[in-house]
Amino acid sequence: MPGSRPSAQTARAVGDAVFQNSQLSSKGLMERAFAFAFRGLVYAQIWEDPLIDMEAMDIGTDSDIVTIASGGCNMLSYLTAGPRSLHAVDLNTAHVALGKLKIAAARHLPDHHSFHRFFAQSGQRANIAAYRAHVRPHLDEVTIRYWEGRDLIGRKRINAFARNIYARGLLGQFISAAHVVARLYRIDPRELLAATSVEDQRAIFERRLAPLFDRKFVRWLTQQPASLFGLGIPPAQYEALCSGSANDMAGVLRQRLEKLACDFDIRQNYFAQQAFGRGYASAPDAALPPYLQARHHQALIRHLDRASIRHCNFVDYLKQHEAGSFDRYVLLDAQDWMTDAQLNALWEEITRTSSPGGRVIFTPARARCSQKP
């Protein structure tokens, strides 16, 4: 789309994916508000577990993966398993720019230490010097224009890596706002990081965090679909999550937060570290996604040439390829956004382009699934 601003491209692409109702209807207005909210960066970190994905896909050296890029973490984590090819697509130009930045940084930063500092400990000025010296010369003009462009309050986007990139984007801002709301009730979510056992985590959650969901203001907030856009929940998915009753959403969110806070050792759960601590832990043995772990760094670099990333609709990308081109598909929660016609088109293309034994993994509103076409 020559001449279009990236945000305008994203708005059109997301609109094509989520608009299911008349512009003048209440649902139609909500869908358009959601598309507007998704014009910029949404996820600095993807929230599907790459280890579970990789186990479900059973990636081999002959695997050809097509995936939604999102924040790019899982895309690079899949590469550590050495697939034959990896094709990432996304409707959001900011996610494409982030993915290209991560690929260029992995390839051109001097060592794992500088790569780790850039993406795991992003609040350091040295990252900006590293970007200029090692990464920028290898980026395309569109990606440079995105990162050196300015956000809504006039800051260069690349400077987020000198502060905290994980507090940026729609989800990062949502989590920061949730921390502010908790503090209104004299609760600091970081308290959970001091837990010394899973039992201690549950005690802190039940005593401090769970009562928040009984507060009238919090319950009112969760009944507003727009207030949850930061979680990447479009209107259609909102109804699926709470079974059509907004009164149930506080319970849904409490249940999800309880699982995040209580079901796994927080010292080994980098998703919980991000939610409650606003970043990855800094300890030498801190939990990290595979692509940031030192033991996977050389494998990641070796396989970078097998990856590509495109600003494209998933179905349109499949249509560009011949039958039998892929055998692994990662849909995330995209199906929750789709009409029946869009779902039929998606699965027709998956069936056409899949080689024998292909696998599809996706995350619907209620559960994690894996299927073989």
Q: Give the pLDDT confidence of 215-264 residue by residue, as tens digits.
A: 999 999 888 777 777 776 766 666 666 665 556 788 888 999 999 999 99
* pLDDT score for 5: 54
Helix (H) or strand (E) holding 307: strand 307-311
133/34: higher pLDDT: 133
- 34 three-state secondary structure: helix
Lowest mean per-residue pLDDT among 177-181, 224-228, 242-246, 354-358: 242-246
Residue scoring higher pLDDT (340 or 272): 272
Q: What is the mean pLDDT of residues 78-100?
A: 96
How far is it between the farthest Cα atoms of the chain?
Answer: 58
What would the two tokens of residue 124 be?
């350091």
How high is the mean pLDDT of the chain? 87
E-only strand ranges, 73-229: 85-90
Q: How confident is the model at residue 369 (pLDDT cuts 50, 70, 90)?
A: very low
Per-residue model confidence (pLDDT) at position 78: 98
pLDDT confidence bin for 77, thresholds 50/70/90: very high
HEC assignment per residue over 223-290:
CCHHHHHHHCCCHHHHHHHCCCCHHHHHHHHHHHHHHHHHCCCHHHCHHHHHHHHCCCCCCCCCCCCH
Range from 11-25, 99-113, 330-344 that averages highest in pLDDT: 99-113
284 has pLDDT over 60: yes
| pLDDT at residue 337, rounded to an integer | 74
**CA pseudo-torsion sign 153, 159, 163, 168:** positive
d(CA 130, CA 110): 9
Predicted pLDDT at 32: 66
The predicted pLDDT at position 247 comes to 62
Q: In this predicted model, what pLDDT tens digit does every residue of 15-72 receive, in sequence order? A: 555 556 555 566 666 666 666 667 789 899 999 999 999 999 999 999 999 999 999 9
Joined tokens for residue 222: 């969760």
Tell me 64's DSSP state: E
Q: Is residue 157 scored above 80 in pLDDT? A: yes
Confidence at residue 223, expressed as pLDDT on a 0 to 100 scale:
85
pLDDT of 341 higher than 50: yes
- What does the pLDDT read at residue 3? 38
Is 305 a residue whose pLDDT tops 50?
Answer: yes
How high is the pLDDT of residue 25?
Answer: 63
pLDDT higher than 50, residue 370: no
pTM for this model (two decimals): 0.87
Q: Between β-strands 369-371 and 354-362, what pairing exists: parallel, antiparallel or unpaired?
A: antiparallel
| Whole-angstrom distance, CA of residue 208 vs CA of residue 238 | 26
